[in-house]
A = this chain, B = another copy of it.
Amino acid sequence: MAGKTAGKEKRKKKGRRHGLRRKVVVGAPPGELVATPDAPQAIMRAVAVSGEAIDERPLEGVGDLAALREAHDFVWVDVVGVDDVEAVRAVGEHFGLHALALEDVVHLGQRPKAEIYGDHLFVVGSLMHQPAVDVLEREQISMFVGRSYVLTFQEREGDCFEPVRDRLRSGRGRIRRSGADYLAYALLDALVDHFYPVFETMAERMDHLEERVYGVDDQGEVVTELSTLRHALLELRRQVWPLRDALNVLMRHDVPIIQPETTPYLADIHDHLVRLVDMTESLRESAASLLDVHLALQSQRLNEVMKVLTIIATIFMPLSFVVGLYGMNFDTSSPYNMPELGWRFGYPVVLGGMALVAAVLVWAFRRAGWLGR
């Protein structure tokens, strides 16, 4: 019973999982960003790269940006906290971003996508968090890429870009020399890398569920957990698949911001995403097949239970009838009224007869394969 209650609570937790996020104020003109009351202030960090030198610093406002951009080849601005609509609008105005794209940054719950706006690209991606083993939370990561800047927006603290920052700091590889588009690639790559541990946890849960399906104990939660797992896999696929389309957009269209040397790198991410979808599909098929196995085993167990019942009933009902027969109170005065009750060997004969009946029945069951296990 405890398991059931726990299951209920889990379901409560994923109550808002249907992907719905209300659009803000109905009737507001599109492109108008409405401030969220009491939103915490956004944190902005800039990394400016110039030849082989970098300048990493927190930003107080967009005021510092102009100087920084002038002094360096390209700059990466990372904004954490998109509820601070004022900050988003200020950054957007500084870089001359399209109002609809800015709206998508603030109105969370967008599907991953890539859009091309004249002189800048707009990419929406997903970062999957797993606060608990069967809870999957999505954080929307938005990215703008121009000739000399990359702009990333994260919902909250705790990011996946630290390895890229490390590489920028250490100067390893070609990341400092290769321009904004290569940096954008490195960030997307880091984003995609974070799908792997999520998938791994699911694969482990799958293995765990398989052991339980084949085991004899507590099957109660298997169906529920399989259903939760399939839902999570679907959710994962729903984030990975459109990202693949987004990369297609970046690779196929003749996008001037993406230099030809960067395209093979994007193709590499594309490859990873295809493999991820592949693996997810494989796991989903395993889950579906495990449900089949579970149901088949259950029906098999029912068959066995029913066989036990039928064997018991088939053996003991005739025997009970016989002993009931000799329990009838027919007068012993009439010679036709169960004379065997008075026979010297009546009781042993009856007992032997009953043993014979039971033996014949057991033999018949064995022949029919019911006792063959």
Residues of A within 8 A of B (CB): 4, 7-8, 11, 15, 18-20, 22-23, 26-27, 29-32, 98, 100, 103, 109-111, 113, 115, 117, 162-164, 166-167, 172-175, 186, 189, 193, 196, 199-200, 203, 206-207, 210-211, 214, 216-220, 223-224, 227, 230-231, 234-235, 238, 264-265, 267-268, 271-272, 274-275, 278-279, 282-283, 285-286, 289-303, 305-310, 312-314, 316-321, 323-334, 336-338, 341-348, 350, 369-370, 372-373
Contacts and interface: CB of A to CB of B under 8 A. Distances in A.
23 contacts: A11-B207, A18-B286, A23-B272, A27-B163, A31-B173, A100-B264, A100-B267, A103-B268, A115-B267, A214-B224, A223-B293, A302-B302, A312-B317, A320-B324, A323-B327, A326-B328, A328-B341, A328-B347, A329-B341, A330-B347, A330-B350, A331-B342, A334-B347
A172 B27 CA distance: 10
Contacts of A15: 207
A224 B293 contact: yes
A290 to B, nearest CB: 7
Nearest to A275: B111
A324 B350 CA distance: 13
Given A310-B309, A372-B218, A206 B11 contact: no
How many chain copies does the complex carry? 5
A328 B348 CA distance: 13
A291 B291 contact: no
A171 to B, nearest CB: 10
A282 B329 contact: no
A230 B296 CA distance: 15
A372 B220 CA distance: 11
A165 to B, nearest CB: 9
Contact of A299 (B117, B173, B299): B299
A298 B299 contact: yes
